[in-house]
Amino acid sequence: MQVMAKIVFLMDIEEGHLLPSFALAHSLKRRGHEICYLSVIDNEELVKAQGFTFKPIFEKWYPRDFRRKMKRLPLAENGKNIRPFDDLKYRRLEQIADGSYDACFGDMQADMVIISVFLRVDIFLLYYKFNIRPVILTPFLREPGKTLAAECMESFLSIPPSDLGLLIEHLMNLNKTFTSMTQIIDPVNTLHELILCPLQFEIEGADQNPKKRYIGPSIRKKEGVANIRSLYGIPGNKGIIYASIGSQGVRYREHGEHFFRKMINAMKSPEMQHLHMVLSIGPEYDKDLLALLPPNITALSWVAQIDVLEVAVVAVIHGGLGTVKECIYYGVPMLVFPIANDQPMNAQRVSHHKLGISGDITTISEKELLAHILDLSHNVEIRQSVEKIRDIFREQDKSELGAKVVETILASGPL
């Protein structure tokens, strides 16, 4: 009989990293485990809305409303962050050195700490300072050949010298002796890692570390919207297209402008009058900046995405893994226009598995865009491929694979 455990989720600031964790947390809670989240204060409402205990951390460097301000700042055109907030990325090391984690982990007695892969420095602080072997939660798929250890090394090497010196000094004060960065990072190869996606969406060349487990799609719960057509005034005889570049359209600047303009112009075409587009522009984008919308577009700052995907015939997206997984789960062919981060590789996976088409939103013509959308709305081969992987996603979700993997790790002994 499984002994019930206290499981702590230590999560970073990004909603897109936090939201996929909820399905696993709910599954564990249903099986009797106690769940607690530690994160920045901006995540408090999201976590408590799910019914989980929440404790804020690092309020000095990440005060309330930090995330909204961050979203309003753009990305560079090469996809790299140019936000001044990035200067604060490692300043929390001062709080860590002053004992900010001590109150959290000194006497918490957690049976397991599941930590966001994006808190790479924190992984090692838990390991070396509190003798905690955290389980790493990864909401994306790596490039072929890339490893967790290589990611950690890149993160350490990106730390400003003054902050890196602070980290090394802190580790030395724990009576740890290191002769190289590689020696510091080596333990990560022995830690369990949970990948929030089925293995079947991977492509050739993925890292084969036996500690890495693919635990299923981890799909969020539906928002519970009764009827999307009634809510958005969509005629019952029209197929629904969902279009979105995520919640951070302001940050993408040129790409966002291309995306919105081309979506609007495509929907004005006579060939598209049997379809209706639900266009998600994100909470920070000024709707008044959009051109006059045709009657077959509903543009919204916030969209009940899962509820829309449940009835959509095509999705036009930027390729974040969370949305890609939700499209697959609801059997929706995808037109993917990647912009940054893991989106280009996800677009390649979509094309590789014949789940849709990928392209460049800055160069695609409106004629090509129109042709792709119409093709995807009735392409039998692509729809069959989507349905095949959809069935795999749903079976793994139903089986609570992630919770079973966590319980196997718990049963294997002290972490």
Give pTM, 2 decimals: 0.88
- CATH number (domain holding residue 165): 3.40.50.2000
Mean pLDDT across 125-136: 90
State which residues form the domain around 350.
Answer: 228-395
Q: Do residues 160 and 297 both lie within one domain?
A: no
pLDDT at 65: 81
pLDDT at 243: 94
Kindly report each contact of residues 391-400 with a partner whose C-beta sits within 8 Å and lies 24 or more positions away, as own/partner.
Answer: 392/198, 392/200, 393/198, 393/216, 393/217, 393/219, 393/325, 393/328, 393/329, 394/329, 396/198, 396/215, 396/216, 396/217, 397/23, 397/216, 397/217, 397/218, 397/219, 397/329, 399/216, 400/27, 400/30, 400/31
Q: Do residues 204 and 336 both lie within one domain?
A: no
Q: Do residues 116 and 67 both lie within one domain?
A: yes
Classify the C-alpha dihedral 156-162-166-172 as positive or negative. positive
Provide the number of structural domains found in the chain: 2
The letter for the amino acid at 7 is I
Among 315, 317, 322, CA closest to 197 = 322
Does residue 349 belong to any structural domain of this protein? yes
DSSP letter, residue 8? E
Does residue 223 belong to any structural domain of this protein? no
pLDDT at 344: 94
Q: Do residues 187 and 253 both lie within one domain?
A: no
Rounded to whole angstroms, the Cα distance separating 110 from 8 reads: 7
Mean pLDDT across 81-98: 55
pLDDT at 85: 45
Does residue 124 belong to any structural domain of this protein? yes
Structure tokens given for 84 = 């001044």
Does residue 61 belong to any structural domain of this protein? yes
Does residue 414 belong to any structural domain of this protein? no
Mean pLDDT across 1-18: 85
Q: Do residues 89 and 179 both lie within one domain?
A: yes
In a 3-state reduction of DSSP, which class is residue 255? helix
Does residue 222 belong to any structural domain of this protein? no
